[in-house]
Amino acid sequence: MKKIAVAVLALAFLMLAMLAAPVFAAPPTETKVPVTLKWTNVGPTTTVIRDVNGNVSHRIMTQNWAVKLFIGDSETLIEGTAFGERQTLYIYGRKLNGVDQIANDHYVISFPGGGFEGNTHITITDWDSVLKTYNVKLHAVFHGTGEFEGQTLNAWQNGPGTTPLWEGYLSKPES
């Protein structure tokens, strides 16, 4: 009877060890390569406005972009296009001529041979409709498609938003 109890106990520990082993495995290694993305709105932009109350409106926008991607220290850029769908709240009244925005965008970016798809979260403050200036905090995470499959693009912008310029890195799994 003792032999059976020891065998059952040993089998239980073995099964537990097999389940726990992947948890103790080393994480996959990756290379992070710096990137810069330059965005130019090429239109058309469509907007559907749904007023919530006098100080807030919900807007659904679609935008078309030309995108230039610089990877690492390369001076050779990759040119592509992007289509974005934005869900945003416009918050009025904080300052004269101003509006703040909280936006979530979904982008599909296409380059020759592949691209990226993913989401951004954007906070725009101090928009001045007269001067056309604003500040932006933006964070984007995209997964690669086609030739970029298995790669992740992580980018951000923080500061004056009049020139859409994102900096970040491209994560590539090491082979």
- Residue at 53 is within a domain: yes
- Residue at 150 is within a domain: yes
Greatest mean pLDDT among 17-21, 40-44, 111-115, 126-130 lies in 111-115
- Residue at 14 is within a domain: no
CB atoms under 10 Å from CB of 115, counted, come to 23
Helices (H), the chain: 2-24
Q: How many domains does the chain have?
A: 1
Q: What is the CATH number of the domain that holds 93?
A: 2.40.160
Residues with Cβ within 8 Å of 142's Cβ and at least 6 positions away in sequence, in order, are 107, 109, 116, 117, 118, 119, 152, 153, 155
Mean pLDDT to the nearest integer, 24-29:
57
- Which domain covers residue 59, as residue numbers? 28-173
State yes or no: pLDDT of 135 exceeds 70.
Answer: yes
- Residue at 104 is within a domain: yes
- Residue at 18 is within a domain: no
pLDDT digits (tens, 9 = 90+) for 59-68: 999 999 999 9
